[in-house]
Amino acid sequence: MYNLLKGKKGIIFGALNDKSIAWKVAERAHEEGAEFVLTNTAPALRFGDTHILAEKCNALIVPADATSIRDIENLFKETEKKFGGKIDFILHSIGMSPNVRKKFAYDELSYENFQKTIDISALSFHKVIQTAKKFDAINDWGSIVALSYIAAQRTLFEYNDMAEAKALLESIARSFGYIYGREKKIRINTISQSPTPTTAGSGVKGFDGLLDFTERMSPLGNATALECADYCITLFSDLTRKVTMQNLFHDGGFSSMGMSSSAMQLYNKSLECNECDYKNQSELEK
Ligand SMILES: NC(=O)c1ccc[n+]([C@@H]2O[C@H](COP(=O)([O-])OP(=O)(O)OC[C@H]3O[C@@H](n4cnc5c(N)ncnc54)[C@H](O)[C@@H]3O)[C@@H](O)[C@H]2O)c1
């Protein structure tokens, strides 16, 4: 441990269970000397394990639906009360698509669901930052991080309307990063993380195949939730004060790859199999 966050205070959104990326960030932030408030929706707090994490990290839990300005305002008020002053960092680790959950295909989307996806997974980021600014809740040189995915730039089968949500999320980091940086020296970045086996991640159809593919394609292998937490800690620390308005790939190199030897080998093998199947089929038909 390096005491990288000694004396720093923050808010962490999205720790549901010990698989959650936010859970690992909270554990690492605690180890690095930070104090923080944990928040999630009331139902997630009822069904999830956040209370276990709160006990472990000596953190206050404040329920908030990140789509509700009222809830977010209450969260900042309670946080200010708890710490008696401003905070230094915020983690936005929130994602949910009712279209993915209810298995609506991208070319048969429910627009009502689509709006919810955008509100929960992207606009909530704007709402949190705008409320923080309104309350002047963050110290100068503070840091805000949200978690994104490469589907913002490239089309990935079955990621559905979450792709649009992530594109908007990354754009909000740039647009607000300019304003908050100029006025308060506060930095805003997104981390584009490898596929990670969490509750949200595993909800994407074909997730196991995707995980194997990206593992094969990434020279350093997939980045784990704990490794993502380590990266978040550096972004909350004073070692990255001039990094802002960036979408930072944390994916073992996947985003720069076209084809790898390991993926090619598997692809060739499956072609051979297809050929065998085809030959066997032709034999049978004779
Ligand atoms: N798991 C992956 O493969 C992966 C990859 C790249 C990026 N991400 C992103 O990481 C973030 C965290 O997801 P995770 O993988 O840790 O899964 P997770 O399911 O553990 O976390 C998602 C969290 O969002 C919370 N949430 C949903 N609706 C909310 C609302 N209205 N208000 C407040 N919170 C709400 C959930 O309660 C949950 O705690 C998400 O933004 C996700 O898109 C995940």
What pLDDT does residue 50 have? 98
Average model confidence (pLDDT) across the chain: 96
DSSP state of 222: P
Question: Does 20 sit in the ligand 1 pocket, CB within 6 Å?
Answer: yes
DSSP labels, 45-86: HHHS-HHHHHHHHT-EE----TT-HHHHHHHHHHHHHHHTS-
- Residue 12, C-beta contacts closer than 8 angstroms, at least 6 positions apart: 22, 25, 26, 29, 36, 37, 38, 39, 59, 90, 91, 93
Place of tokens 């809830």: 71
Decide if 186 contacts 228 (C-beta within 8 A): no
The dotted CATH code for 9-259 is: 3.40.50.720
- Distance between Cα 280 and ligand 1 center (Å): 46
Average pLDDT over residues 86-111: 97
- The residue ranges of every structural domain in the chain are 9-259
What would you measure as the largest C-alpha separation in the chain, in angstroms?
A: 83
Which of 12, 17, 18, 20 gets mutated to test ligand 1 (max ligand atoms within 8 A of its CB)?
A: 20
| pLDDT of the residue at 202 | 87
Q: Amino acid identity of 279? A: K
Kindly state the average pLDDT of the residues 231-250. 98
Q: Answer for the pair 170, 148: CB distance below 8 angstroms, yes or no.
A: yes
Contact 22, 93 (CB under 8 A): yes
| For residues 208-212, average pLDDT | 93
The helix or strand, by DSSP H or E, that contains position 13, with its residue range, turns out to be strand 9-13
Of residues 283 and 117, more confidently modeled: 117
Ligand 1 contact, 201 CB (< 6 A): yes
What tokens were used for 67?
């789509």
Give the residue-averaged pLDDT of 9-25: 98
pLDDT at 262 over 90: yes
| Ligand 1: nearest atom to the Cα of 65 | 32
Place of tokens 């936005």: 92
Q: Is the pLDDT of residue 9 over 70?
A: yes
Q: Residue 43 CA: which ligand 1 atom is closest?
A: 37
Does residue 284 register a pLDDT over 80?
no
Q: Which of 11, 17, 21 to mutate to test the pocket of ligand 1 (most atoms within 8 A of CB)?
A: 21
On the 0-12 / 13-18 / 19+ scale of CB atoms within 10 A, 234 is: middle
Q: Is the CB of 34 under 6 A from ligand 1?
A: no
Q: Which residues are catalytic?
A: 149, 159
Closest residue CA from atom 11 of ligand 1: 93
DSSP one-letter code for 1: -
Residue 19, classified by CB atoms within 10 Å of its CB into exposed (0-12), middle (13-18) or buried (19+), is: middle
Residue with tokens 């990326």: 21
How close is the Cα of 26 to the center of ligand 1, in Å?
14
What is the per-residue pLDDT for 104? 96
pTM (predicted TM-score):
0.96
CA of 101 from ligand 1 middle (Å) equals 13
The one-character DSSP state at 135 is: T
* Nearest atom in ligand 1 to 195's CA: 3
The CA distance from 218 to 166, in Å, is: 21
pLDDT for 157 equals 86
**pLDDT above 90: residue 80:** yes
Strands 35-39 and 9-13: parallel
Reported as a single tens digit per residue, the pLDDT across 147-163 is 999 999 999 988 999 99
The secondary structure element, H or E, covering residue 122 is none
- Joined tokens for residue 238: 């004073």
**What integer pLDDT is reported at residue 280 of this predicted model?**
67
* CA–CA separation, 189 and 252 (whole Å): 18
Distance 217 CA to ligand 1 centre (A): 24
For the stretch 43-54, pLDDT in tens is 999 999 999 999
As a whole number of angstroms, the distance between CA 46 and CA 50 comes to 9
Cβ of 67 below 6 Å from ligand 1: yes
Q: Does residue 286 carry a pLDDT above 70?
A: no
- Run of H or E including 175: helix 162-184
Nearest CA to ligand 1 atom 39: 14
Mean pLDDT across the stretch 204-225? 94
% of the chain surpassing 70 pLDDT: 97
Cα 14 to averaged position of ligand 1 atoms, centre (Å): 6
Number of residues that make up the chain: 286
